[in-house]
Amino acid sequence: MTTRGSSSVSDVVDLLVELIANACVNDGTPDSGGELRSVRTLQRFFRAEGTVIEPHPGRASVVYRIAGTDPEAPALALLPHLDVVPASSEGWTYPPFSATRADGMVWGRGAVDMLNVTAAMASVFRRYLDGDAEPLPGDLVFAAVADEEAGGAFGAEHLVTRHWDLVRCEFLLTEVAAPPFRTSERVVVPVTVAEKGPAWRRLRAHGATGHASQPYGSRNALLPVAGAVARLGDARSPVAITDEWVRFVDGIPLDAEIRAGLVDPDRVDETIDRIAQDDPDLARWAHACTHLTVAPTMLHAGAKANVIPDDAEGHVDVRTLPGQEHADVDDHFRKVLGPTLRDELEIEPMLEFPATGSVPEGPLWDAIGDAVERVTGARHLVASMTPVTTDARFFRARGVTAYGVGMFDDSVTFGEMLGMFHGVDERVSERSVELTAALLSDVVAAFGDRIRTHS
Ligand SMILES: [Zn+2]
């Protein structure tokens, strides 16, 4: 059975449907996004205005803060984002912004990144706002933000740098929530505690313009840039087996040989190739978690087919692991490009943030364990890393402990869900949205209990 999204926002799935249908598509330009639409939806859901921060027309975030009972106790913030990446209808079973409910699933752009969690967090927070849950010792903050998908300048970064009093916290829940690893004996819930750092590079070359009918002796700016991106794309990227990765591989159910191969720098590439035969999404993710990744993404040169270009530019997406410095990126580029190409190119940093992480211990970690134990009957958590950049980094830079966690039924595996981030047929089961809301509700309550018993 298929139904279109309704406009009521009575429960968590209705809220998800409305957030998807709002189509807050962030294409990286200031006038895109339109997150104010979803701020209005949340204001109706909460029946409360909150504090709206709108640094650019339409690019709104909304913050609610409930005072705790003990001014000394640490604050917990829920930080979902409201924007989504663009989607064309091509290849989708249902149009990406129709927010179609069919066969127990909600389909649409944002279903897993991350409007499912946005809706779940809102439903948890509403119980505290309405006085239906016992207040926490510390403040409880809900901040639904704009612009996560394009760097956060109109969202989390703006709030942290300009409105810290509003979002101030010691503990944070945000991205990424992913399905558990299931075997017949165990359900292991991944908790995102770390993320890679972007270290994007711009390559530029200058030459001399001329008639393309007579290329002899010309200085064509396109050639060194094209040569460089081809080499960078083909080169084996450097392996780094981090402590985070070893801990993750130890924590998930795996065949013993695969497990050993994944933490051995000399065997990790062949092991990933083996995983790829069954689960290409998981393989791609495992590769990203064990390598400095390098992906050329853009190339600009020339104005006309018969004119030698005197300027060319290439963009390369590079991501570092915890412990890798930006000097390691420069080193890799030097080795791959060799002296001749390097001399012809200007290489400059674009987006640069270090990898960030929070230790998997302390009251929020313990509270997640308490909640997972209640839901699954056992305390199997595994700390995981995400290759993507999230709003957690702005908070971790201020010393905040930040994690991402959710709960999913078995309709989609960990690997399949990773493939849906920014992909086609993004979807989530209604049951998973309800499970995530229930888990997060338990996490918040257990966090309060943990703080009470330790103070
Ligand atoms: Zn996201």
Q: 282-313: per-residue pLDDT in tens?
A: 899 999 999 999 999 999 999 999 999 999 99
Interval between CA 206 and ligand 1 midpoint (Å): 37
Identify the pLDDT of residue 455. Answer: 64
Q: What are phi and psi of 173, to 5 degrees?
A: -115, 125
Interval between CA 83 and ligand 1 midpoint (Å): 8
Q: What is the DSSP string of 323-348?
A: T--HHHHHHHHHHHHHHHHHHH-EEE
- Is residue 205 within a helix (H) or strand (E), and if so which, with residue range? strand 197-206
Where does the pLDDT of residue 5 fall: very low under 50, low under 70, confident under 90, or very high at 90 and above? very low
pTM: 0.91
| Gap between the Cα atoms of 340 and 451, Å rounded | 60
Q: Is 291 helix (H, G, I), strand (E, B) or coil?
A: strand
Interval between CA 210 and ligand 1 midpoint (Å): 46
Interval between CA 150 and ligand 1 midpoint (Å): 10
User: Is residue 176 reached through a cis peptide bond, with omega within 30 degrees of 0 on the bond before it?
Assistant: yes
**pLDDT tens across 130-159, in order?**
999 999 999 999 999 999 999 999 999 999
- Sequence spans of domains, the chain: 2-184+356-454, 195-352
Interval between CA 177 and ligand 1 midpoint (Å): 10
Interval between CA 287 and ligand 1 midpoint (Å): 20
Q: Which CATH architecture has domain 195-352?
A: 2-Layer Sandwich (3.30)
Residues 385/240, Cβ–Cβ less than 8 Å:
no
User: Which is it for the CA torsion 405, 406, 410, 412, positive or negative?
Assistant: negative
- Which residue in 288, 312, 296 sits closest to 201, CA to CA? 296
For domain 2-184+356-454, the CATH class is: alpha beta
